[in-house]
Amino acid sequence: MYVARAGLTPDRLAQAGAELADEIGFEKVTASALARHFGVQVASLYSHVRNTHDLKVRIGTLALAEMAGNAATALAGRSGRDALAALGNVYRDYARAHPGRYAAAQIRFTPEEAATTAGPRLSEMTRAVLRGYDLNDEDQVHAVRLLGSIFHGFVSLEQGGSFDHSTPASEQSWIRILDSLDATLRTWPCQ
């Protein structure tokens, strides 16, 4: 016995799941919680998503797409250290504004899932930053991996509170790290 249709769709579930993730934590986003949010029975969700893993993949995909979009905007008209900082801040700001979504973006995708996400677009943004530095093709791969490691590592540790119990504030370290990364990329071919 119900009043009206809730209008569920896979995208709407992913969107609501993303919002819920930011509020209560990605690992607490369950089919039950989402069903409560829409005021429907849990089983109803299964007409729109295959299972909870499917739901989580959709949330992660949404997050990656948002990050790639933010990156495209942030990188427009920037190059060099400016672009480097802009991309780093996309990661960091996104993780701070949307911790649940950021966590969702870190789930392990299968190869076919990964191909359909905006992950490749985000890699492309990283390569765009590196165009401001003089790297050959192989070094560019290493540099993409270096940037990904630092951005993800820093954001992940900062998010986990690892930097909370020492001074100065992590902001200071972030600036210094961007500086040193810029220096590294400028002198990379010298190795």
Site for DNA, rule CB under 7 A:
1-2, 4-9, 30-33, 39-44, 46-48, 50-53
Residue 15 interacting partner from a copy of itself, DNA, none (CB closer than 5 to 8 Å by kind): none
**3-class state of residue 141 by DSSP:** helix
Contact in structure between 133 and 143 (CB atoms under 8 Å) = yes
Residue 32 interacting partner from a copy of itself, DNA, none (CB closer than 5 to 8 Å by kind): DNA
**Least distance in angstroms from the C-beta of 137 to a copy of itself:** 10
**3-class state of residue 14 by DSSP:** helix
**Cβ closer to a copy of itself: 76 or 115?**
115
Token digits of residue 52: 């909870």
Contact in structure between 149 and 100 (CB atoms under 8 Å) = no
**Least distance in angstroms from the C-beta of 145 to DNA:** 33
Please give the angle made by the CA atoms of 122, 144 and 69, to the nearest 5 degrees: 15
| Separation of alpha carbons 34 and 49, rounded Å | 12
Residue 136 engages a copy of itself in binding (rule: CB under 8 A): no
**Cβ closer to DNA: 62 or 147?**
62
**Least distance in angstroms from the C-beta of 49 to DNA:** 8
Q: Residue 170: which residues within 8 A CB-CB, separation 6 or more?
A: 158, 163
| Separation of alpha carbons 173 and 120, rounded Å | 28
* Residue recorded with tokens 């039950």: 32
Token digits of residue 25: 């934590």
Give the x-and-dash track for 59-98 against a copy of itself (CB under 8 A).
----------------------------------------
Residue 115 CA, chain-centre distance (Å), reads 16
- Residues in 94-133 at the binding interface with a copy of itself, rule: CB under 8 A: 106, 108-109, 111, 114
Give the x-and-dash track for 158-187 against a copy of itself (CB under 8 A).
--xxxx-xxxx-x-xx--xx-xx--xx--x
* Residue recorded with tokens 């076919």: 112
Q: Provide the binding-site residues for a copy of itself, judged by CB under 8 A.
A: 106, 108-109, 111, 114, 138-139, 141-142, 144-146, 148-154, 156-157, 160-163, 165-168, 170, 172-173, 176-177, 179-180, 183-184, 187-188, 191
